[in-house]
Structure 1
């Protein structure tokens, strides 16, 4: 089998409402959809959602990287040879994990369709039957966040991820307000997205949150401050998750050696796709670390790819891939059974693409042959 053509679509995914995190407010999500065609008539879809604050890649730059660098490099190669393709991409361009993830995901979609099996069967088989969906609360006033949480508890949600990181004192009030509203039995995870900057600010905030019964605090300090994570972990009883500080295998080695986190957040857009994500999960398993598959707020394509990884690994114990639930219009049909997600046994990613919606949301497009 050979790759014969690669279609690129730069799209804007419309949100039901703005998504606010510590470093940006999104009124829509910019995404790049890749469609890979083969000489056997099998087509696979991949996705790249870039975040310049995390990997240094922009939406526009990622599009050009795929179009002018990666697509020409993989054209004519066998999409079934994932290890070889990743080595080829590595030699072609340094890092660029989000761009590589789009190629990787599309190739796994092709492999699954080729052998008529869902992607999770290629990764070790299904381990988990279902995952509870965690609702993400974007940054707002304490009362607004508490009201939103209460409304979702009424819908059956049992866990929340709170986005904070604009101001530590205000963030403490936000977290306390949500806990007071939803009671003690609902899981609350707090994602600071580097917003508290350093360990000193973080430790002051965590000291005020000891009674909030938090599942964990995620990435309170700057991404490269692994030593700051070590200090926080050694001085706080609240479990600590690393996200932006973990991109690939090198960072994972340092995190394990320094015991810098209790849990790691693996994102396909940070590490380069399904295949590199599996490697990170295996590293974490050897160190006894639980993992989460995180989200860059992808469409059904990227979200499904993450779920296939999550469903196949014992030590991936939580997921937060809720992008499709945030969109007023999506290009795929990944099915959520709120408050749970259960994957089908359809081949490949198991997602059908609405070509009409894809065209409607496309800002510009290209074909590489």
Structure 2
């Protein structure tokens, strides 16, 4: 199975409600989609969002990276040479992680198709059913409480609460949501780099002293502030999860060595694709550190890939935050993993099981 062409386009899917965090507000998914064609007639699908405030990738930069830096190095290569392809992708250029991820996802899709297995089985197997949380966007307290109650009534057992804009209001947000759903849902807190180290310790201590047991607090400080993360880790009981502080294997090793985080959040758009996500999961497993498989504001293709990796690496990836497609008004594809509220079911078709893309808008080279 040889690569004969690589083309890209876009999918645009409106969100059910605006997605709000401490650093951005988004009203629609607007992602790059990669199609890799082969001489056997098989097509591999990949996807990446332009999350410029986190990864630095934009639609324009991903288009340039994929078509003019990655594509020329991969044409004519046999898919069975998976390690060579991944090495080529990762070393073709510095950074551009989301562009690399889109290409790698499509390559792994083809590799598993070549083997005639769903991706998670090609990667070693695992449970075909996962359970995801759902995000409660930062907003007015009454709105967040209402959203949280609605999610719990729909059957979600874990809520990811976005905060990080105002520490005083953030604390009141958590207290109000906890009072409304106590005993019915676990609460994960995501500050999206919105606090200082001292603010984070103060906020978490107040929450702990109020008798609220958070499952974890995600990335309370700037991604580059490892010392700040360590400062918080040493002063609170609540588990701290690194997100923007942990793009690749090197950063993860540093976090583990410094004991700056309890949990590592793996996202394919940060790691540059599946190969380095697997590497991180194996490193974490070696040191007995748990991981979460997360996503940016992505739709079904890349989230399907993340779900397959999470299933295959469940020995270290014990938490799932793959609610991107649940936030969309309509599916971006036919096929892929299926969602029934918090229940995520992997398909048994070869590869990712993508059958068609809805509302695909092709780009010209």
Residues 135, 322 of structure 1: 8 Å contact kept: yes
Unmatched segments (≥5 aa) in structure 1:
none
Distance 2:136 2:80 in 1: 39
Unmatched segments (≥5 aa) in structure 2:
none
Distance 2:92 2:275 in 1: 18
Distance 2:30 2:177 in 1: 30
Structure 1: which 4+ aligned runs deviate by more than 3 Å? Answer: none
By how many angstroms is 1:4 displaced? 0.5
Partner of 2:266: 266
Partner of 1:218: 218
Residues 70, 92 of structure 1: 8 Å contact kept: yes
Q: CA RMSD in A?
A: 1.3
The structure 1 residue matched to 2:364, chosen from 346, 363, 366, is 366
Distance 1:161 1:209 in 2: 16
Distance 1:46 1:152 in 2: 30
Residues 290, 316 of structure 2: 8 Å contact kept: yes
Distance 2:71 2:92 in 1: 10
By how many angstroms is 1:185 displaced? 4.1
Distance 1:227 1:114 in 2: 45
Residues 115, 122 of structure 2: 8 Å contact kept: no
Matched position secondary structure for 2:31:
strand
By how many angstroms is 1:366 displaced? 2.6
By how many angstroms is 1:79 displaced? 2.4
What does the per-residue CA deviation read over 1:165-203, in whole Å, with 9 as the maximum and x for residues that have no partner? Answer: 11111111111111000013410000111011x211111
Distance 1:151 1:117 in 2: 38
Partner of 1:132: 131
Partner of 1:306: 306
Residues 217, 241 of structure 2: 8 Å contact kept: yes
The structure 1 residue matched to 2:204, chosen from 203, 206, 224, is 206
Partner of 2:349: 346
Partner of 1:174: 173
Partner of 1:121: 121
Residues paired across the two proteins, number: 360
Residues 241, 262 of structure 1: 8 Å contact kept: yes
What pairs up with 1:82-231 in 2 under 5 angstroms? 82-126=82-126, 128-196=127-195, 198-210=196-208, 211-231=211-231
What does the per-residue CA deviation read over 1:66-98, in whole Å, with 9 as the maximum and x for residues that have no partner? Answer: 111111221111223222112222332112111
Residues 160, 187 of structure 1: 8 Å contact kept: yes
Are positions 1:323 and 2:328 aligned together?
Answer: no
What does the per-residue CA deviation read over 1:22-58, in whole Å, with 9 as the maximum and x for residues that have no partner? Answer: 1000011221000000011111100111311222222
Partner of 2:76: 76
By how many angstroms is 1:305 displaced? 0.2
Matched position secondary structure for 1:172:
helix
Change (3 A) 1:143 1:83: same
